[in-house]
Chains A and B, each alone.
Chain A
Amino acid sequence: QQQVKQSPQSLIVQKGGISIINCAYENTAFDYFPWYQQFPGKGPALLIAIRPDVSEKKEGRFTISFNKSAKQFSLHIMDSQPGDSATYFCAASIDRGSTLGRLYFGRGTQLTVWP
């Protein structure tokens, strides 16, 4: 059972455009929502993360929007660049109890930014 559902599976954006990737979850116990970025041939790396006490977090061109009532969160990449072309994974975890911070990953979104 997929704990975190991610869409779209692939995304093509023109340089300078906005890339938007969406994720949804069911488990209301989740309280940490990171996004990981993976370039071809490399391991994933943390890009940005949010906790449910805020509705938005921005770091440079990357913004997470979080809607607790809808159990959805999304990654927005402003002014998308060819160097942003990568696979993006959303994830969720519970920072307490027996699950011990285990990350539940979405299935990933392959982003291609055309120059």
Chain B
Amino acid sequence: QKEVEQDPGPLSVPEGAIVSLNCTYSNSAFQYFMWYRQYSRKGPELLMYTYSSGNKEDGRFTAQVDKSSKYISLFIRDSQPSDSATYLCAMSDGTASKLTFGTGTRLQVTL
């Protein structure tokens, strides 16, 4: 079993929809949680960075962390075609920077 599980999709939604992306994990030592967006043939870019449990909002993006359930989510409101990309969750225990990534969820937002 992988330390971080993520549904690979693809997930197709119409423009304007609310998108929910999720990851589960098994390592209770993880304290830092990130979401990266990766366009085709590009490197990942950081979207959200959260510590421990709780919510964090940035524009149309909201990240949620539930450490008791070992479950994290990324919500995208008013989705746009430019949001079409692969979304990777990543986690760290904070001691040595090593990030453990999910497999990524491919999202397509259609007109």
Bound together: no
